[in-house]
Amino acid sequence: MDRRAFLSALGTGWLVQTAGEHPPRIAGQVVGASHAAGHLLRGGAPVVSSAVVRAVVQEKADVVIVGGGVSGLSAAWRLAPAGLDVAVLELEPRPGGTSTWGEEGAVPHPWGAHYLAAPNVEARAALRLLQEMGAVTGWDAAGRPVFDPRRLCHAPQERLFYDGEWHQGLVPTDALSIAERDEMARFLDIEEALTVRRGADGRPAFQIPLDMSSRDPDLLALDRLSMEAWLDREGFRTPFLRWYVRYAMLDDFGGAPEDVSAWAGLHYFAARKLRTPELEGSHFLVWPEGNGRLVKALIERARPRIMLGSLAMAVHDLPQGGVAVDYLDVARHEVRRIEARAAVLATPAFVTRRLFPAAAPMLPVRTSSPWLVANLHVEDRFEPNLPWDSILYEAEGLGYVDAAHQLTDLAATTVPASALRAPRRQTVLTYYRAFGGADTTAARSMLLGSAWEGLADGVLRDLAPAHPHLREVLGRMDLMLWGHAMPRPRPGFLGERPFETTCALGPRIAWAHVDQPGMALFEEAQARGVRAAELLAGDMGVVLGESWL
């Protein structure tokens, strides 16, 4: 009999039950993103007229980058060796885009992207950054990167709340029916075959960077199917496998299988090629603040001038050469202008169209998935076997990750016993929910129209099957409402001319965003930024040396 059972047994029979429970109040707020300011763009002229317009040129830079997400900062990172004056215009109070993070509370935590799968050897820019950060410590004889073991997601990685209890790992093998297990095995076989498959042109069927994937028409034909239709076609019918694929599609693309291209869906399962003994346990690179750590690394190396609270409103190709960007300084409520030799628009397609209408015909039309991210600051008993990722089968959301999991310092999150309370452990759990349905507009207005109370309550209800008493250990819950979190690779997203996307929008203007490939991967975002920087450097006559791509 364990201690808990013993103590409960002791209590039964003659002891009165604890006094009635009253749910404790939870603090929290919606912390972003800045929809109100962002949506000013839709208004166009009226906003400009209501703000004080400074006609004079306010600022100058060598390169101005619109958007301080991974693409924009990667462009700055690529330009850093040239010693240029690079200005980054960012609307939000913290850079990083959907890789942004929070520092409040016991441990830094992600507000968006929270891990990076070990990049393929071909994703050279990503590996270069990781090496600069020390996360890649060297290269093995086969030319594969060697990772700092502290960065690879520590064991145990995942657990699934299935049929009323937690199971280690994402697949609760013991609890599944034979049919479910067989289908799972068949699916993994297909995954493995596709991972090593090459198209008729000799390229890998699925690769990261995306544009190194095969052009084989048989493979590209998958883009005309939805992932759902592919599962039907291949005869995958068991509930568990359908859920498993649905979970993966929502987790990576924010879209349900019926609204995601089968090519993209299979890319998710078959694009990771790196196989080493060190990666067997987990090939996820994890930091407490998620990909916020990668953003920090980019900033530390690039050291651009980041102008937070700046909403770019229009980009002008100047007749005398160079570019000008008009932007709203949100705090001062005045429109200012920054002139530069070149500009990178590291913004989604729908924003880029408004900033620089001349380029509109060149830009793809993307659907973006709305997301809700909640950070739950909890304080609970120390439990030595908690995994990084906790997932609830058939829940609305995608579960949560534990920000403190990857710390090697147990003491860092411990609250020592004091006179008034027992010793506890503090952490931040980051909960994700993607709105994967086809009608993203309705989902977005529902999300942005909801108050904190309703949304926070929804998060607690979603986690309640596994954590009925979460309120009792919850100190605060903050929410981030991502209206446009990521492009959704819908069927047909590869378009007429797959992998050939526009980078140059004008002589001195380049576009860098994951809306180009249509899939939100860190490596893609980074490669797009690097490519934009290298393109503009050529235009400006700045020597950057060999390409980093």
Partner 1 sequence: MSASEASVPPPNEAPEVPEAPGQDAVAGPPRRAARAALLASVFVIATSGLIYELITGTLASYVLGDSVAQFSFVIGLYLFAMGIGSYLSQYLESKLLERFVEIELGVALVGGLSAPLLFKVYTASGAFRVLLYGLVLLIGMLVGLEIPLLIRLLKFSLDLKQLVARVLTLDYIGALVASLLFPSLLLPRLGIHQTGLFFGLLNAFVALGSTFLFPITRADRFRLRALCALTVLVLGAAFAMVTQFVERAEAIYFGAPVVHSAQSPYQRMVLTQSPRTTRLFLNGNLQFSSDDEYRYHEVLVHPAVAALGRDPRRVLILGGGDGLAARELLRYPSVEQVTLVDLDAVVTDAFRTLPIATRLNQGALTDRRVTVRNEDAYKFLEGCTESFDLAIVDFPDPGNYAVGKLYTDAFYQLLRERLGVRGVVVVQATSPQYARESFWTIVTTMEAAGFMTAPLHVYVPSFGEWGFVLAGGEGLAAPGGLRIEASTLRYLDSAGLPELFRFPRDIGRVAAPINRLNDQKLVAIYTREWSVWTR
**What residue ranges bind partner 1 (CB under 8 A)?**
1, 3-4, 6-11, 13-16, 18-19, 148-150, 152-157, 277-282, 381-382, 384-385, 408-412, 414-425, 472
CA 450 to chain centroid: 23
Find out whether 163 and 180 touch, Cβ atoms under 8 Å. no
Instruction: Classify residue 89 by burial, with Cβ atoms within 10 Å: 0-12, 13-18, 19+.
Output: buried
Question: Of 415 and 464, which CB lies nearer to partner 1 in the complex structure?
Answer: 415
Calpha distance 113→132 (Å, rounded) = 20
Question: Of 78 and 405, which CB lies nearer to partner 1 in the complex structure?
Answer: 405
Calpha distance 458→374 (Å, rounded) = 11
Q: In whole angstroms, how close is the CB of 148 to partner 1 at the nearest point?
A: 8
Q: In whole angstroms, how close is the CB of 485 to partner 1 at the nearest point?
A: 28
Q: Which amino acid is at 462?
A: D
Q: In whole angstroms, how close is the CB of 349 to partner 1 at the nearest point?
A: 37
Q: In whole angstroms, how close is the CB of 133 to partner 1 at the nearest point?
A: 16
Question: Of 413 and 440, which CB lies nearer to partner 1 in the complex structure?
Answer: 413
Question: Of 381 and 497, which CB lies nearer to partner 1 in the complex structure?
Answer: 381
| 318 CB neighbour count, 10 Å cutoff | 11
Question: Of 368 and 426, which CB lies nearer to partner 1 in the complex structure?
Answer: 426
Q: In whole angstroms, how close is the CB of 416 to partner 1 at the nearest point?
A: 7
| 173 CB neighbour count, 10 Å cutoff | 12
Which residues, 6+ apart, have CB-to-CB distance to 223 below 8 Å?
261, 262, 263, 264, 491, 492, 493, 494, 498
Question: Of 181 and 424, which CB lies nearer to partner 1 in the complex structure?
Answer: 424
Question: Of 158 and 289, which CB lies nearer to partner 1 in the complex structure?
Answer: 158
Helix (H, G, I), strand (E, B) or coil at 252: helix
Instruction: Classify residue 263 by burial, with Cβ atoms within 10 Å: 0-12, 13-18, 19+.
Output: buried
Calpha distance 283→271 (Å, rounded) = 13
- Which among 291, 352, 391, 303 has a CA at the least distance from the CA of 510? 352
Question: Of 426 and 440, which CB lies nearer to partner 1 in the complex structure?
Answer: 426
Beta strand segments in 470-521, E: 474-488, 504-506, 509-511
| 485's tokens | 């979190």
Calpha distance 132→130 (Å, rounded) = 5
Q: In whole angstroms, how close is the CB of 472 to partner 1 at the nearest point?
A: 6
Instruction: Classify residue 170 by burial, with Cβ atoms within 10 Å: 0-12, 13-18, 19+.
Output: middle
Question: Of 55 and 420, which CB lies nearer to partner 1 in the complex structure?
Answer: 420
Question: Of 1 and 55, which CB lies nearer to partner 1 in the complex structure?
Answer: 1
Q: In whole angstroms, how close is the CB of 18 to partner 1 at the nearest point?
A: 5
Find out whether 133 and 121 touch, Cβ atoms under 8 Å. no
Calpha distance 64→454 (Å, rounded) = 40
Q: In whole angstroms, how close is the CB of 105 to partner 1 at the nearest point?
A: 18
| 19's tokens | 């006094």
Q: In whole angstroms, how close is the CB of 400 to partner 1 at the nearest point?
A: 18
Beta strand segments in 231-331, E: 284-285, 305-308, 310-317, 323-329
Helix (H, G, I), strand (E, B) or coil at 431: strand
Find out whether 260 and 216 touch, Cβ atoms under 8 Å. no
Question: Of 42 and 381, which CB lies nearer to partner 1 in the complex structure?
Answer: 381
Q: In whole angstroms, how close is the CB of 428 to partner 1 at the nearest point?
A: 18
Looking at residue 388, what DSSP letter applies?
S
Calpha distance 420→10 (Å, rounded) = 25
Question: Of 6 and 139, which CB lies nearer to partner 1 in the complex structure?
Answer: 6
Looking at residue 417, what DSSP letter applies?
-
Question: Of 137 and 445, which CB lies nearer to partner 1 in the complex structure?
Answer: 137
Q: In whole angstroms, how close is the CB of 1 to partner 1 at the nearest point?
A: 7
Cα separation values, 101 from 31, 113, 222, Å: 11, 9, 35
Q: In whole angstroms, how close is the CB of 25 to partner 1 at the nearest point?
A: 14
